Amino acid sequence: MGQLSIGFEDGDGNFGLDQADTTGAFCPTCPFHHNVFCAYEELRDGQWTPIVLDPAIGQVPFFYRAPRIEPSGQNKALRGTITVELAPRYYLTSEWDTLRFAVHIVDRDLQSSDTLRTAPALKP
């Protein structure tokens, strides 16, 4: 099983979702039902290639719902670390042996962070 930790800062303190946030933009079939997105990439013939995972064939995208964080005091800025447990089999079986994740988060105003990439990792 893999683990991925993401450091973040949110200047206006509106990161995270409540369990009840399942309507409007956060409905289960909407793009923003999740707020942590880890896109899978493989190094194929010297080029990083995004791999779209297909739930219809048993592949589960690495999307997560980080819980709401309430800032304390007058300063509403948040700073923290999000750690997600990746599925026991967090890599695809393919002829290529190196992977990485492209990660971004989205706040409740649907503002997306910059996309950061993990260091390359060899598949186990």
Domain range enclosing 65: 3-122
Number of domains the chain is built from = 1
**What is d(CA 15, CA 35) in angstroms, rounded to the nearest whole number?**
9
In single-letter form, the type of residue at position 35 comes to N
> In the predicted model, what is the mean pLDDT of residues 20-44?
95
Burial 63-73 (b: 16+ CB within 10 A, else e): ebbbeebeeee
Please give the pLDDT value at position 64. Answer: 94
Rounded to the nearest 10 degrees, how much is the dihedral formed by the CA atoms of 113, 6, 85, 23? -30
Q: Is the pLDDT of residue 1 over 70?
A: no
Instruction: Identify the CA nearest to 13 among candidates 103, 83, 73, 82.
Output: 73
- Look up the CATH number of the domain holding residue 37: 2.60.40
On average, the pLDDT of the chain sits at 91
Please give the pLDDT value at position 55. Answer: 84
